[in-house]
Amino acid sequence: MNASMQMLVRPPSIDFANALSEHPEASSLNLEIARQQHAAYCQALQTAGAVLEALDPLDDFPDSVFIEDNAVILEGRVILCSMKEPSRREEVSFLAETLQSRLPVLRLQPPVFIDGGDVLQTDDAIFVGQSQRTNQKAVEALQSLTSKPVIPIAVKQGLHLKTSVSFLGNNLLVINPSFIDAEPFRKYEWIEVEEEEAYAANCLAVRDHVILPAGFPNLVQRIQEHGFVTLPVEMSEFQKADGGVTCLSLLMTL
């Protein structure tokens, strides 16, 4: 990866406790703890060498902290997502205002539905989860915008594709194959997560660092064996909101 990795983050809004979630502990979500955890996450990104830009909170949008879902950065363009959940659809308009002076911006529209959390980019392919939030028309839309193969992946459990698979670079994945159709990933090397560590399958490589949820020592050790420095961060409040490590930032440059 290049020396400079520019990443956008958006702190939790005052309404974060109302985020969409099917997690059994969603009702105990604590905004102040979430803010502390978000600050620690941002510190981990900076420790890993990322250049951060923090956008303003969107107080009318409880899920807006999950900024990754708003857009896909593809070959120097911002592809604004067409979000299926009505409460999230206008988040992307605020992101467009921020980015339209920097990069070309294209906004997808229904009947395309897509969340950025369903888009996994590797060096030679783009995988698109077929989930509750993302449909086949999203695959077709992205394929029209790139020469890389765009490959649909069935999501059997979990909110998004990247809930269950992360790309660390150098042909290496962290993956929970029981939650997705893993067959198209067979050409990659796998770090397969154990069932009790499934939440940590969503992790984020920044240069030679990997940011992952705290509390998963077996996965930490296995990632370190591949030469990475691991940066565990507390994610309890974001887990309660069905969010993960990658959801909290949007990578602008590779």
Could you read off the pLDDT of 208-236 as tens digits, one per residue? 999 999 999 999 999 999 999 999 999 99
pLDDT of residue 66: 98
Strands 5-9, 250-251: pairing kind:
antiparallel
Strands 105-107 and 172-175, bridge-based pairing: unpaired
> What pLDDT score was predicted for residue 4?
72
Given 38, 42, 160, 203, the catalytic residue: 160
Tokens representing 100? Answer: 């339209």
Provide the whole-model pTM: 0.96
Which one of 42, 81, 203, 247 is the catalytic residue?
Answer: 247
pLDDT score, position 2: 45
Q: Is 160 a catalytic residue?
A: yes
pLDDT of residue 108: 98
Q: Which residues touch 39 (CB under 8 Å, ≥6 apart)?
A: none
Are 50 and 253 contacting, i.e. CB atoms less than 8 angstroms apart? no
* Residue-range domains of the chain with CATH: 5-251 (3.75.10.10)
pLDDT tens-digit readout, 31-68: 999 999 999 999 999 999 999 999 999 999 999 999 99
Query: Which residue, chain included where needed, has tokens 């510190």?
Result: 43
Residue 35 corresponds to which tokens in the numbers above? 């803010």
Regions of the chain with pLDDT less than 70? 1-3, 254
pLDDT of residue 85: 97
Determine whether 247 is an active site residue: yes
Q: Going by C-beta distance under 8 Å and a sequence separation of 6 or more, which residues neighbour residue 55?
A: 8, 9, 10, 67, 94, 95, 98
pLDDT at 3: 53
CB 156 within 8 A of CB 181: yes
